[in-house]
């Protein structure tokens, strides 16, 4: 490619400081270094974790940055040592590295890598040194990806090669929200056929959890959200019952216990709110219920009465749905191509990258499920 080895000047959405809209700027994207790959981003969606970084965590050390981590693109060039990718490959960047060799990568019990991103860090930055600069300043690469840009550079450990026939403006969703929710139900909760489930929060992550519960054979899936506009969509993914906590004077866990003779078998929290995490735990049946925390927050602690677990409940967390991104993403793309996984139904809006602030606003106001931004 004519651009290989050269700095690429292109458009990106730079978040200069917390709490402010992002700015479309011309940035310089350096050529990939050893073990790195430069990608032309074709489509990228907005996930709540982007909003969290910009408007909720307000962690000053995490700026300036280019947000975005749910995307698909085409390899433009590769750095020394990269043998797995060649220019023209269709790829999905992954915010969880996989070196493929460490104790974690070799274990089926986790999708994390010892060389990777440390989940307890307040800023979701991968160990990649940024390759993006703007106006002479280094711009941090959010989640090691930074996909709100026409080009980005990622480590080859954070990249999955996918079917060249896959439509990038659809399969970009596999890069975060869909794997996260679907896997939380299937891999982490391990929902069983005939069971009763409750999903709290019906954004793309929660709806994908509903889809996962349904795929696992749950007979009843209770969809819980304070925005009743989300219920119609939840039906499409297999929800059978709908609860708006605002319609009830008693705690939602009590409402669910009454509906299910003592509590659901599995509950999944897909909001990122510690009170909801506790409600979700309390909504599952004391004797054997499994509750999974999927929503993201580093702002507050949560607490429970020990007896709530002693009685037999299990409380778990799930990062990227327990999927080993690099290995499992191609299979999720195949499942979509084989019509075994829904993606189109999550996309409520299609905009251009320079309309990213509109996409952020749509999510903030609960008007979208996923907005896909394309670069050309
Ligand atoms: N664990 C992971 O790997 C991972 C990956 C991606 C996203 N996330 C997190 O998952 C969460 C959901 O992401 P999303 O993109 O679907 O967000 P979203 O904003 O599209 O959806 C959140 C939903 O929660 C609902 N909600 C808000 N308060 C509620 C309450 N008190 N009770 C019930 N519902 C409530 C909202 O109305 C909305 O429908 C976020 O916290 C995000 O950061 C986690
Ligand atoms: Zn995400
Ligand atoms: Zn590893």
Which atom number of ligand 1 is nearest to the Cα of residue 252? 32
Q: Is the shortest distance between the CB of 230 and ligand 1 below 6 Å?
A: yes
CA distance 140 to 119: 17
Q: Is the shortest distance between the CB of 221 and ligand 1 below 6 Å?
A: no
* Phi, psi (rounded to 5 degrees) for 229: -65, -20
* Phi, psi (rounded to 5 degrees) for 43: -145, 140
pLDDT in tens, the chain (376 residues): 689 999 999 999 999 999 999 999 999 999 999 999 999 999 999 999 999 999 998 777 789 999 999 999 999 999 999 999 999 999 999 988 888 999 999 999 999 888 765 443 434 444 457 899 999 999 998 888 999 999 999 989 899 999 999 999 999 999 999 999 999 999 999 999 999 999 999 999 999 999 999 999 999 999 999 999 999 999 999 999 999 999 999 999 999 999 999 999 999 999 999 999 999 999 999 999 999 999 999 889 999 999 999 999 999 999 999 999 999 999 999 999 999 999 999 999 999 999 999 999 999 999 999 999 999 8
Q: Is the shortest distance between the CB of 202 and ligand 1 below 6 Å?
A: yes
CB 329 within 8 A of CB 162: yes
CB 5 within 8 A of CB 31: yes
**Contacts of 215 by beta carbon, 8 Å cutoff, 6+ apart:** 182, 185, 186
Q: What is the pLDDT of residue 114?
A: 80
Ligand 2 centre distance from Cα of residue 95 (Å) = 9
Ligand 2 centre distance from Cα of residue 112 (Å) = 16
Q: Is the shortest distance between the CB of 87 and ligand 1 below 6 Å?
A: no
Residue from 48, 117, 143 whose mutation best tests the ligand 1 pocket (most atoms within 8 A of CB): 48
| Closest by Cα among 158, 159, 153 to 32 | 153
Domains and CATH numbers, the chain: 8-175+343-374 (3.90.180.10), 181-318 (3.40.50.720)
Residue with tokens 């969703």: 173
CA distance 225 to 245: 7
pTM of the model: 0.96
3-class state of residue 363 by DSSP: helix
| Closest by Cα among 202, 170, 184 to 90 | 170
| Closest by Cα among 15, 45, 19 to 359 | 45
Q: Is the shortest distance between the CB of 271 and ligand 1 below 6 Å?
A: yes
Ligand 3 centre distance from Cα of residue 75 (Å) = 23
Q: Is the shortest distance between the CB of 206 and ligand 1 below 6 Å?
A: yes
Query: Whose C-alpha lies nearest to ligand 1, atom 18?
Result: 203
Q: What is the pLDDT of residue 28?
A: 98
Residue from 47, 147, 204, 232 whose mutation best tests the ligand 1 pocket (most atoms within 8 A of CB): 47
Q: Is the shortest distance between the CB of 201 and ligand 1 below 6 Å?
A: yes
Query: Whose C-alpha lies nearest to ligand 1, atom 25?
Result: 201
Q: Is the shortest distance between the CB of 207 and ligand 1 below 6 Å?
A: no
């Amino acid at each position: 490619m004519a651009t290989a080895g050269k700095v690429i000047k292109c458009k990106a959405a730079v978040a200069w400081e917390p709490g402010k809209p992002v700015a479309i700027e011309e940035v310089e994207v350096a050529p990939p270094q050893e073990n790195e790959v430069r990608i032309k981003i074709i489509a990228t969606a907005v996930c709540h974790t982007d909003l969290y970084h910009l408007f909720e965590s307000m962690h000053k050390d995490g700026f300036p940055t280019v947000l975005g981590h749910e995307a698909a693109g085409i390899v433009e060039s590769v750095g020394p040592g990269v043998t797995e990718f060649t220019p023209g490959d269709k790829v999905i960047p992954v915010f969880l590295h996989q070196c493929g060799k460490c104790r974690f990568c070799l274990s089926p019990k986790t999708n994390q890598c010892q060389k990777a991103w440390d989940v307890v860090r307040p800023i979701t930055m991968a160990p990649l040194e940024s390759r993006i600069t703007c106006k002479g300043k280094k711009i941090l690469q959010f989640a090691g990806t930074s996909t709100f840009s026409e080009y980005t550079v990622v480590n080859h450990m954070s990249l999955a090669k996918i079917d060249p026939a896959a439509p990038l403006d659809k399969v970009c969703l596999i890069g975060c929200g869909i794997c996260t929710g679907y896997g939380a139900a299937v891999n982490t909760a391990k929902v069983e056929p005939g069971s009763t489930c409750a999903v709290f929060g019906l954004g793309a992550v929660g709806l994908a959890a509903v889809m996962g519960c349904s795929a696992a054979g749950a007979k009843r899936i209770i969809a819980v959200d304070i925005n009743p506009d989300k219920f119609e969509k939840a039906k499409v993914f297999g929800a059978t019952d709908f609860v708006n906590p605002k319609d009830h004077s008693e705690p939602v866990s009590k409402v669910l216990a009454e509906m299910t003779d003592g509590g659901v078998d599995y509950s999944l929290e897909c909001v990122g709110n510690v009170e909801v995490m506790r409600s979700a735990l309390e909504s599952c049946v004391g004797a054997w219920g499994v509750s999974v925390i999927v929503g993201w927050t580093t702002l507050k602690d949560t607490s429970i009465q020990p007896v709530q677990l002693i009685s037999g409940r299990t409380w778990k967390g799930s990062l990227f749905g327990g999927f080993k991104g690099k290995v499992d993403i191609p299979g999720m793309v195949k499942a979509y191509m084989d019509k075994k996984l829904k993606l189109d139904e999550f996309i409520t809006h299609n905009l251009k990258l320079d309309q990213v602030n509109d996409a952020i606003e749509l999510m903030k106001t609960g008007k979208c499920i996923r907005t896909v931004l394309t670069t050309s």
